Amino acid sequence: MNANVQLHEDGALEASSLSPEERVLLLEAAVRGMRYRSSMATRRVAPLPEDVERLAYLGGVLPEDGASPASVLEDLDTFGSPATVGVTSGRYFGFVIGGSLPVTVAANWLATAWDQNAGMVTASPVSAQIERIALDWVLDVLDLPRNAAGAFVTGATMANFTALAAARHAVLNRVGWDVERQGLQGAPEITVVVGEEAHASLLRVLSLLGLGREHCIRVPCDDEGRMRADALPEVSGPVLLCAQAGNVDTGAVDPLDDLARWAHANGAWMHLDGAFALWAAASPTRRHLLAGHARADSWAIDAHKWLNVPYDCGIALVRRPDELRAALAVNAHYLTDSGMREPMHYTPEMSRRARGVEVWAALRALGRRGLADLVERCCGHAEHFARHLAAAGAEIVNRVSLNQVLVSFGSPERTLRVIDAIQRDGTCWCGGTVWQGKTAMRISVSSWATTDADVDASIAAIRRCMRVA
């Protein structure tokens, strides 16, 4: 043991057992991180092009000799921080990118210091237990079946992948086909039913699972992007229905009760991609929008969106744990079985970081009321945006029921000019989209940090840009 490491009788190591360099380095990282986050109040949301160009200083040929850790950190902060997108600012409304609650950043730093391998109970009892608790809380707060199985993965894409791997197993197992052993070659055909407005990542997942992104039946949607239940196809054999809660443009939710009825009548597996909107089930005033959500067989949800934990963090949930395990369990002679829930049997990965820690921290810090409040605050901000931009002469393209607002400023060209002006202005950041043929700007309010003042400042900036564009 290192001379300056002293093991105390209670097993605790003093911080002084760290070398002075390591102590200073880790404290310095915390100080720089704090300085960065506190700069958000005044800095522009998008970086300036020259700040991005200066990143070249971090490159060049990898030098023969290493640099001191302190100078490595300094370079990262000096060149990296100014080139970041101010996602934590409260005025970032692009895509559906949440911020990160301070407690989740703190939990992330501590868990990173732990450097746990979350794949196995023996490698990290603490991660396995905290994940278990966090999953129980997620099921409870979203009112999903309490004994569903769950898996912590990188995001909703992998959550969709994980849940649909379980679905693929189950629907083929019911007709006597073992897809894990035999693969899909020669397997009975699975009819995959997907809405016209499904998220692009879901189609990618279908291709990864060998089901084919175009070999599926696309169900027409209404003008909000909801699957039309009256347009569901006639089907037979193994069937997989992929529903959506929270269209990335409009926030609309498929008619889940109707879809569940159809799925049950047809013996289909119903999967629900609820990447951000599933969190609305935690809000007493919004959960009616998700009526029927608990009737699915599996769910995908992102914690790094509306729950506001750091990237990367998504969760797959599957009603019958055996079906998730059957699809993903792994066996190797050196892997001991603890007799407890072994995380790696429920995820596509083996080694991975303990991302459940941040979900636990977020839920513990928010409580039920805090989570409902976070959801409702964002929805309220979205309504405020819609009301004031409409009053300023913009057209609100969607029915604002959650945290998404679609705005048109007239012709496609003018809308693009206004979006460009907003992005240059830097007060806030909004992106564009083409919604059912119409060019529009998207406003996604998903951050805990967004205040009334942020929204008002952003509305003022958007109005300024409307005048000049």
Ligand X SMILES: *Cc1c(COP(=O)(O)O)cnc(C)c1O
Among 155, 238, 251, 356, binds ligand X (CB under 6 A): 155
User: Is it true that the peptide bond before 373 is cis, omega within 30 degrees of 0?
Assistant: no
- What is the distance between the terminal CA atoms of the chain, rounded to a whole angstrom? 67
Contact call for residues 73 and 439 (beta carbons, < 8 A): no
Pick between residue 98 and residue 238 the one whose CB is nearest to ligand X: 98
The whole-angstrom separation of Cα 246 and Cα 439 is 20
Count of residues engaged in binding ligand X, rule: CB under 6 A: 14
Is the Cβ of residue 307 or residue 465 nearer to ligand X in the bound state?
Answer: 307
Q: Mark 161-200 with x for binding to ligand X (rule: CB under 6 A) and - for no binding.
A: --------------------------------------x-
- Give the residue with the Cβ less far from ligand X, 149 or 198: 198
CB of residue 157 to ligand X, shortest distance in Å: 3
Buried b (16+ CB within 10 A) or exposed e, 403-434: bbbbbbbeeeeebebbbebbbebbbbbbebbe
DSSP run (H or E) holding 350 = none
In the complex, least distance from residue 456 CB atom to ligand X, rounded to whole angstroms: 27
Verify binding: residue 224, ligand X, rule CB under 6 A: no
Sheet containing strand 404-408, edge to edge, reads: 395-396, 404-408, 438-444, 431-435
Q: Which of 293, 298, 230 is nearest to 262 (CA)?
A: 230
Minimum CB–partner distance for residue 46 and ligand X (Å): 20
The Cα–Cα gap between 296 and 242 comes to 10
Burial of 367 (0-12, 13-18, 19+ CB in 10 A): exposed
Using the rule CB under 6 A, give the single segment among 18-26, 149-157, 340-348, 418-426 that binds ligand X.
149-157
Q: Does 150 participate in binding ligand X (rule CB under 6 A)?
A: no
Dihedral sign for Cα 223, 226, 228, 233, please.
positive
Smallest separation, CB 300 to ligand X (Å): 7
Residue 156 found at the interface with ligand X (CB under 6 A) = yes
Closer residue to ligand X, CB minimum distance, 246 or 343: 246
Least distance from ligand X to the Cβ atom of residue 425, Å: 26
Stretch that binds ligand X, among 106-114, 271-279, 320-328, 363-371 (CB under 6 A): 271-279
SS3 429: strand
In angstroms, give the least distance from the CB of 402 to ligand X: 11
Cα distance between residue 468 and residue 310, in whole Å = 36
Token reading at 107:
């939990």
The stretch near ligand X (CB under 6 A) out of 15-23, 80-88, 244-252, 336-344 is 244-252
Contact status: 281 vs ligand X (CB under 6 A): no
* Strand ranges inside 226-347, DSSP E: 239-244, 269-273, 298-302, 314-318
Which range binds ligand X by CB under 6 A, 66-74, 242-250, 381-389, 427-435?
Answer: 242-250
Looking at the Cβ atoms of 89 and 157, the one nearer to ligand X is 157
How far apart are CB 96 and ligand X at their closest, in Å?
5
Q: How far is the CB of 302 from ligand X (least distance, A)?
A: 5
Number of Cβ within 10 Å of residue 291's Cβ equals: 14
Tokens describing residue 421: 């002006």
Q: Smallest distance, Å, CB 44 to ligand X?
A: 25
386 near ligand X (CB under 6 A) = no
Tell me the β-bridge partners of 249.
Answer: none
Instruction: Give bridge partners of residue 92 from the DSSP assignment.
Output: 429
**How many other C-beta atoms are found inside a 10 Å radius of the C-beta of residue 176?**
7
Which of 318, 303, 305, 317 lies closest to 356, judged by CA?
A: 303
- Adjacency order of strands within the sheet including 298-302: 149-153, 314-318, 298-302, 269-273, 239-244, 191-195, 217-219
x/- letters, 313..342, toward ligand X (CB under 6 A): -x----------------------------
Q: Which is nearer to ligand X, 120 or 227 (CB)?
A: 227
Question: Which DSSP string corresponds to 370-404?
Answer: HHHHHHHHHHHHHHHHHHHHHHTTPEE-S--SSSE
CB of 23 to ligand X, least distance (A): 36
**Which residue has its beta carbon closest to ligand X?**
155
- Is residue 302 part of the contact set for ligand X (CB under 6 A)? yes
Binding flag, residue 201, ligand X (CB under 6 A): yes
Candidates 90, 119, 225, 246: give the one binding ligand X (CB under 6 A).
246
Q: Which stretch binds ligand X (CB under 6 A): 50-58, 218-226, 268-276, 460-468?
A: 268-276
Residues 42-101 close enough to bind ligand X by CB under 6 A = 96
348 binds ligand X (CB under 6 A): no
Identity of residue 184: L
For residue 230, how many other CB atoms are within 10 A of its CB? 9
By CB under 6 A, is residue 355 in contact with ligand X? no
* Residue whose CB is less far from ligand X, 273 or 342: 273
- The H-or-E segment that residue 65 falls in is none
Nearer to ligand X, 128 or 135 (CB): 135
Q: What value, to the nearest 5°, has the Cα angle with vertex 285 and ends 280 and 288?
A: 70
Q: Which positions lie near ligand X, rule CB under 6 A?
A: 96, 155-157, 199, 201, 244, 246, 248, 273, 275-276, 302, 314
